[in-house]
Amino acid sequence: MGILDFFRRDEVVGSKVLVCGLAARFEEPVTTDSQIYRQFYPSTTTRLFNGAEESDRTLSHSYDILHLFCDVAPDGVLTHAGSGVFTGTGLLQKCCDLNVKLLWIASDNQPDLYITGFKARGKRINLVMTIDRDGSKFPAFLNKLLFRMYYGDTMPVAWADLCAQGPHFVHPDTPSTIFFAGRGGVKLR
């Protein structure tokens, strides 16, 4: 993201959201998180995928936000209950090609797996990678963040207000996540 991205008008009104999982075991958190998204974004779709081909077809429906539950393998591959595999970096590129503005990996994965599997540098997309949802902290944080974004804050502004970064800041009420602001100026309403 360059400095000019902060001045470019990049706003989506009526954002379309896909909350999905790559395995049946993600049904409960998919349902929980999709209910939070629906409060702010009525065009929220919920899916559990049976295979990579099915997920590929669904992603091509022009979503602005992709909130995904999946396991990341040590080689950076997103493990899938069905057939087929794809890498985190491949998913990032596909999302960029489809003009997805925010990709949120919402299931717990180790940070080193994200570092191996998701090469976001130079990609024009906001990316959140969840390390630990930490029980009820995740839904509460998601609700606060989406509220701020829906009412006009860019994601980096909302994020910094909710969990300022730096060596002296501790946030006992937030989940453990990594945030990459590759499309920091976008407003998702």
The number of distinct structural domains making up the chain is 1
41 in Cβ contact with 89 (< 8 Å): no
Tokens of 144: 């606060």
Q: Per residue in 57-94, pLDDT tens?
A: 677 778 999 999 999 988 888 876 455 567 889 889 99
Reduced to 3 states (helix: H, G, I; strand: E, B; else coil), residue 67 is strand
Q: Per residue in 126-151, pLDDT tens?
A: 999 999 999 999 999 999 999 999 99
Q: Does residue 34 belong to any structural domain of this protein?
A: yes
Q: Does residue 189 belong to any structural domain of this protein?
A: no
Q: Does residue 151 belong to any structural domain of this protein?
A: yes
Please state, in angstroms and as integers, the Cα–Cα distance from residue 135 to each residue in 31, 39, 108, 146, 173, following that order.
15, 20, 11, 18, 10
Residue 164, domain extent: 3-184
Q: Does residue 97 belong to any structural domain of this protein?
A: yes
The bridge status of strand 126-132 relative to strand 176-181 is antiparallel
Give the domain CATH number at 88: 3.40.50.720
Alpha-helix residue ranges (DSSP H) falling in 60-180:
88-97, 111-117, 137-150, 155-162
Cα angle for residues 178, 180, 183 (degrees, 5° grid) = 150
pTM of the model: 0.90
Using only the alpha carbons of the chain, give its radius of gyration.
15
The single-letter DSSP state of residue 26 is G
CA nearest to 130, candidates 113, 146, 144: 113
Q: Per residue in 5-25, pLDDT tens?
A: 555 568 898 899 999 998 889
